[in-house]
Structure 1
Amino acid sequence: MRAGIVTLVVAYVLSQFYRAFLAVMAPVLGSDIGATPEDLSAASGLWFLVFAGMQLPVGWLLDHIGPRRTASILFGLGAGGGAAVFALAQGPGHVSLAMALIGVGCSPVLMAAYFTFARIYEPRVFGTLAGIVLGVGTFGNLIASYPMAWSVDTFGWRETMGALAVISTTVALVLAVLVRDPPALVHEGPAPRGSVLTLLAIPALWFILPMQLVNYAPAAGLRGLWSGPFLEDVYGMGPEGIGMVTLVMALGMIAGNFAYGPADRLFRTRKWVIFAGNLCSSAALFTLWAIPAGGVVTTTILLTAIGFFGASFPLIMAHARAFFPPHLTGQGVTLINLMGIGGVSLFQFVTGGLYAATKTGATEPVAPYEAILLLYALAVLGGCIVYLFSRDTTT
């Protein structure tokens, strides 16, 4: 079981990488195949859209056939095949197709680990385990920053993506060998029934889902895409400079995941840790909106703060997990993931349109990014207001 979980974490490192690597590739993809920031925003949004759309079927598959087959088959075909398509891309449309395939492949790996935790460990440690997996997996963000920029510069982006296709396919084969399905649930009498609609009918989740919709969107959107064009347009940075700034932001995201994980047991509350953290995330976004050209150091600090405080995903998952019926665990964790990743996808498409609209006629290169930052800041603040009405739990 442990070897399988470790392999799922390795696959999740790649999942984190794939959602973030476009930022450092923006300049070279623009010059080589004519991919604009709007194109890459759409491609990144498509990754998150497909990933989110896969969560409901992944939840059903986890509950009915288990994590081993679900994760290994989808990751091999999607992540391995998508990276190969990317390596052969001749235009922005091919990049979008590749990102969609990779989104399919990455969709089950984190939920397979969370499903296993929820089935074999006590609920009170779920947040800590979820935070550890997310924190380790976020090292994929590190690989997608300066190391990815170095690889693209040294070997070329096509060669780099070809190597990633081989790595992803190999990981999928290892998943098929090492992952073990948790023991099946034993029911007295007829097996209980239910679906996602059963979960949506639980009032306690109504005030958690909006927070999940917005909490991760700014960190993922800025780290995965907008930080690259922003740093290039406002500060004139190239791939290596962008890679260094996004590396620091990625470290902040990793630290945030490890900090949030055990925080509910430390402070004996989930609700107020999540609320305070996201309020800080909103404050950092408002500050960067107010001083978007305040200097590289200030910008890096604020981006890192957004990454750190925007890493509340595992604790929100633990908060919602407390209200799931045991027989709907798979569909429950994937529903929460759907909201988080779906929110990122939604905001990627919206911010892409906002960028195009505000760039037209703008006298300053920073103007489109000011609009994007303000949208993110208001969205997180709105999520915090709704979340105030949620019911706290530490079990």
Structure 2
Amino acid sequence: MPAVRWTMILMCCLANTINYIDRANLAVAAPIMQRELGFDAATMGFILGGFFWTYAFMQMPFGWFADRVGARISLAVAVVWWSVFTALTAVARGAATLMGFRLLLGVGEAGAYPSMAKVAANWFPSKERGLASAIFDSGSRIGAALSLPIVAWLISAFNWETSFVVTGLLGVVWTVFWVLIYRDPERHPAVTQEQLARLQAERGTKAATGPKVPWSSLFRYRTVWGMMVGFFCLNFVIY
């Protein structure tokens, strides 16, 4: 297997770290923003929760987008999108504006996991895909752990506006390196023909023919519903 696959999945881990820093920074800054902008706790709670509506509903559209354009473009679009609206949060001065930025942040962050799953599928054989997924998902926990000290320090050293600008810039910088580094295995100069043939054989091949299956048919399977309920319970506790 090509060794460069680990670079690709570690880049996804780093993107997911930034993802969760950008997601959590409002929760850290919320008490100061409430005081300065005059929001009550109920309004801030509504704003914090707004992110998840677009995040939930844009998962499948972004998965479709990743399948259409590939992981390189879809993940770059997702990271730039959420980074821009993270940084723009610094100019919010009202509840409506802040809610709008949070809703748009959710649109971009919805593209993270579908795109990273695409990277894992492209670069890893089926027997290693669980490990690859665990590596990029670990970035979410790293980001959640780092967001508290990083954002708190930026707020104490500068102000809450700076915390959003700086964390937003992290994603823009990451995207530059991603666009330069990432290629699918079929187009990567470090992958030999022998390595590519072995990877293609071990990751499984696409069905050449067959009827098209509508996405709605997935909801007929108990496994899908079980996973959805499981993630619902997990995130209810986490957030």
TM-score of the superposed pair, with normalisation by structure 2: 0.80
Residue equivalent to 1:198: 217
Q: 1:55 Cα deviation (Å)?
A: 0.6
State the distance in 2 between where 1:187 and 1:125 align: 18
State the distance in 2 between where 1:50 and 1:59 align.
14
Q: Could you say which residue in structure 1 is the equivalent of 2:236?
A: 217
Deviations 1:228-252 (A, max 9, x none): xxxxxxxxxxxxxxxxxxxxxxxxx
Deviations 1:98-138 (A, max 9, x none): 22222222222233222222344344543333223222332
SS in 1 for 2:24: coil
Q: TM-score, normalised by structure 1?
A: 0.51
Counterpart pick for 1:177 among 172, 175, 180: 180
Q: Kindly tell me: are residues 97 and 138 of structure 1, through their superposed partners in 2, closer, same or farther at Cα, counting changes over 3 Å?
A: same
User: Could you tell which deviates more after superposition, 54-63 or 203-212?
Assistant: 203-212
1:130 corresponds to 2:124: no
Equivalent residue for 1:83? 86
2:78 matched to 1:59?
no
- Corresponding residue number in structure 1 for 2:121: 118
- Deviation sequence 1:199-241 (CA, Å, 0-9, x none): 222333333322222222211x2xxxxxxxxxxxxxxxxxxxx
How far apart are residue 48 of structure 1 and its match?
1.4
Percent identity over paired residues: 20
Distance in 1 (alpha carbons) for counterparts of 2:184 and 2:220: 29
The residue aligned with 2:164 is 161
Structure number with higher relative contact order (C-alpha < 8 Å, ≥ 6 residues apart): 2
Where does residue 28 of structure 2 map in the other structure?
Answer: 24
Root-mean-square deviation over aligned CA pairs: 2.4
Residue equivalent to 2:195: none
Match of residue 7 from structure 1: 11
Say if 2:121 is the partner of 1:102.
no
Provide the rounded CA distance (Å) in 2 between the counterparts of 1:145 and 1:156. Answer: 15
1:152 to 1:119, Cα distance in 2 relative to 1, 3 A:
same
Unaligned runs of 5+ in 1: 222-395
When the two structures are aligned, how many residues end up with a matched partner? Answer: 219
* Contact 1:7–1:178 under 8 Å retained in 2: no
- Give 2:53's aligned residue: 49
State whether residues 34 and 92 of structure 1, in contact with CA within 8 Å, keep that contact through their aligned partners in structure 2: no
CA distance 1:165–1:207, change in 2 (3 Å): closer
Q: CA deviation at 1:179?
A: 2.5
- Choose which of 148, 162, 165 in structure 1 pairs with 2:151: 148
In the other structure, the counterpart of 1:265 is none
CA distance in 2: counterparts of 1:4 and 1:119, whole angstroms: 10
**In structure 2, the residue corresponding to 1:21 is in which secondary structure?**
helix
- Does the CA contact (< 8 Å) of 1:5 and 1:179 recur in 2? no
